[in-house]
Amino acid sequence: MNFLTNRDISLELTHEILATAAGDVGDLPPLLQGKRAILLFEKTSTRTRFSFERALGELGCATSYADLRSTNFVKAHAVDEVRVIGDYADLLLIRMGDHELLAQMAEATPVPIINCMTDLAHPCQALADALTIVQHCAKPLTEVTVAYAGDFTNVLRSLAEICCPLGAQMKVAVPEPARTSDPTIEQAQSQSQLTYFDNVADAVRGADVVYTDTWVSLGQEEERSQRMELFGPFAITKEVFESANDTAIFMHCLPAERGAEVASDVFDHPRSVVFRQAYNRYTTGKALLYHLLKAGTERAA
């Protein structure tokens, strides 16, 4: 089973993964003993790479890591190359920009592929985000309002893809020029689960979660000054954060740019849960590996 977007797994499996991650993941048996995973990353990573390497190691799985740009994926067709490495591994964890190409690669090999982030989706991040919300909001997800402000990123798309089916409401402040036509967002809008706002204060007012993401993703450095100007009014300042509920938490997938999308006093706020959120990349990543591979093992038996 591949995990390219959060829609690739059922709501039931999403709940199972979150429940496992909320428990003691140290107790999980080494289900991947004798297996090998290849991590192939086109872009830099701290959290995704090291949390998966820890989780894979604890599950008994050997790992090989390569910067995709240092391999012959850059010379040949990626679909041909993935067929080759599929014969060397039991699991592929891939970070690359082109989501459509990743989907084609997943068709070309029987080996499961986990999307470690494409330009379209960051489903592993969304699992950690959902767990963090459940752990820190003292009410069911169906009663939680998540405010997101800033750029229309893969993180927003995957956050909506997990939070809306789980029953949360989303209030999204993204400047009009950055809004992208997207089926996940449009479906959530049509079901009255997601509403756009032109103003960050309107989105954050009454929210239980305040979430933002970088304004300048890797590869967008040349657009930096235009992006700072476009997204500047959508920054999470202390004043904005304090207009959310009294118990609201601040979330960011990291890496963050203090003083840009989030003020330092919000990042360091007692209700900022960014480091717990980052730790949950490990617990949810391990629970994801366990359940995906368990399902594959059960099908093969």
Q: Of 2 and 45, which CB lies nearer to ligand CP in the complex structure?
A: 45
Q: Tell the smallest beta-carbon distance from residue 51 to ligand CP (Å).
A: 8
Between CA 20 and CA 24 the distance in angstroms is 7
In this chain, which stretch among 43-51, 63-71, 146-154, 182-190 interacts with ligand CP, using CB under 6 A?
Answer: 43-51
For residue 65, report the phi and psi dihedrals to the nearest 5 degrees.
-115, 140
Chain centroid offset of residue 167 CA: 18
Q: Of 46 and 297, which CB lies nearer to ligand CP in the complex structure?
A: 46
Pick the catalytic residue: 125, 252, 269, 277? 125
Task: Reply yes or no on whether 125 is catalytic.
Answer: yes
* Of the residues 117, 147, 230, 288, which one makes contact with ligand CP according to CB under 6 A: 117
In this chain, which stretch among 28-36, 45-53, 84-92, 289-297 interacts with ligand CP, using CB under 6 A?
Answer: 45-53
Q: Tell the smallest beta-carbon distance from residue 263 to ligand CP (Å).
A: 20
* Of the residues 10, 33, 46, 64, which one makes contact with ligand CP according to CB under 6 A: 46
125 binds ligand CP (CB under 6 A): yes
Task: Give residue number: closest CB to ligand CP.
Answer: 48
254 binds ligand CP (CB under 6 A): yes
Pick the catalytic residue: 213, 227, 252, 277? 213
207 binds ligand CP (CB under 6 A): no
Annotated catalytic residues are 95, 122, 125, 213, 253, 281
